[in-house]
């Protein structure tokens, strides 16, 4: 079933903004031009523009044509968990190289994050995440054994791990994110092509089921020249976490989501 007209128009304009076809500061096509392009009346066009204004992507008014204000795209919960889906929504090509996936006893940090006894088996995965073939993030993820064992039947280089786990019926309803900065270690340096000690944005994520059962813990390290994070809040709504690609593309999410 096709989406309503105003949603289709808004989606197309988001794509053009995120791809740089309509860069920050540029004017949005006029209502009359959009009406002609889509073969529709002004009503759906105005709804689409109002949606983009509410999202902070465009500004203007009072007789002035709307202009692009930001490239930070709204992102639903499930795509914040999924790096692949996020990059795709920005009109870019996601990629990944799985460097390690192994079953091993949980260490102290994983035990604390996942509520395990030291020595319980988990599945640990290390992947290099790419945007248009450019190294953007090193992902180190630990899954509880009943969930992680599913990945041994999956080609982790083929796409989103979280989408695959969701298809397998894994409940990924909740996530908590902690954002800080760390210096690149030797492994980060080699994988991301940056000097040892260079600053990286670190996102540590704990994902759990709706009932609060831990599912995974991840330590993701982003190149800050490519990706940034923003907290967007208001008195009317819960804070929303936005992940945005610097000089490439961006995204947003109501608390949650993973790769």
Say if residues 160 and 82 touch (Cβ distance below 8 Å): yes
One of 3.40.50.10490, 3.90.470.10, 3.40.1410.10, 3.20.20.70 is the CATH number of 77-245, namely 3.40.1410.10
State phi, psi for 250 to the nearest 5 degrees: -145, 180
197: left (phi over 0), alpha (psi -120 to 50) or beta: left
The two three-digit tokens of residue 21, written as one number: 């076809």
pTM over 0.75: no
**What is the assigned CATH class of domain 5-68?**
mainly alpha
Average pLDDT over residues 14-29: 87
Average pLDDT over residues 51-77: 74
DSSP H or E run through 13 = helix 5-18
Can you tell me the distance from the alpha carbon of 78 to that of 259, in angstroms, rounded to the nearest whole number? Answer: 9
What are the residue boundaries of the structural domains of the chain, listed by start? 5-68, 77-245
Mean pLDDT of the chain: 83
Can you tell me the distance from the alpha carbon of 126 to that of 140, in angstroms, rounded to the nearest whole number? Answer: 5
Q: Which of 133, 73, 146, 132 is nearest to 103 (CA)?
A: 146
Judge whether residue 230 has pLDDT over 70.
Answer: no
Total residues found in the chain within this entry: 259
Judge whether residue 74 has pLDDT over 60.
Answer: no
> Residue 197 has what pLDDT?
97
Can you tell me the distance from the alpha carbon of 135 to that of 104, in angstroms, rounded to the nearest whole number? Answer: 27
Banded model confidence at residue 123, pLDDT cuts 50, 70, 90: very high
The two three-digit tokens of residue 134, written as one number: 């450019």
Q: Which of 164, 165, 25, 159 is nearest to 95 (CA)?
A: 159
Termini Cα distance of the chain: 27
> Residue 7 has what pLDDT?
84
pLDDT tens readout for residues 160-212:
898 899 899 999 888 888 889 999 999 999 999 999 999 999 989 899 988 88
Q: What percent of the chain stands above pLDDT 70?
A: 81
DSSP for 103-147, please give it.
Answer: EEE--HHHHHHHT--TT-EEEEEEEEEEETTEEEEEEEEEEEHHH
Average pLDDT over residues 118-135: 93
């Amino acid at each position: 079933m096709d989406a309503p007209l105003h949603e289709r128009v808004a989606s197309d304009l988001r794509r053009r903004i995120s791809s740089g076809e309509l860069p920050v500061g540029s004017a949005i096509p006029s209502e009359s031009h959009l009406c002609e392009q889509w073969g529709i009346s002004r009503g759906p066009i105005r709804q689409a523009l109002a949606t983009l204004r509410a999202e902070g992507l465009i500004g203007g008014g009072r007789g002035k044509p709307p202009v692009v204000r930001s490239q930070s795209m709204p992102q639903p919960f499930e795509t914040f968990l999924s790096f692949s889906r996020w990059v795709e929504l920005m009109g870019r090509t996601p990629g990944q190289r799985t460097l390690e996936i192994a079953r091993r006893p949980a260490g102290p940090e994983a035990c604390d994050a996942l509520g395990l006894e030291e020595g319980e088996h988990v599945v640990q995965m290390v992947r290099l995440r790419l945007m248009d073939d450019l190294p953007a993030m090193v992902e180190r993820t630990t899954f509880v054994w009943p969930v992680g064992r599913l990945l041994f039947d999956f080609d982790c280089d083929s796409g989103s791990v979280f989408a695959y786990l969701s298809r397998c019926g894994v409940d990924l309803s909740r996530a908590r994110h902690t954002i800080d900065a760390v210096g690149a270690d030797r492994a980060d340096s080699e994988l991301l092509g940056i000097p040892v000690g260079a600053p990286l944005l670190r996102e540590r994520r704990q994902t759990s089921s709706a009932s609060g059962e831990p599912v995974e813990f991840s330590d993701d390290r982003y190149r800050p020249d490519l990706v940034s994070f923003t907290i967007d809040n208001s008195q009317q709504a819960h804070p929303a976490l936005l992940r945005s690609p610097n000089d490439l593309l961006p995204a947003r999410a109501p608390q949650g989501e993973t790769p």
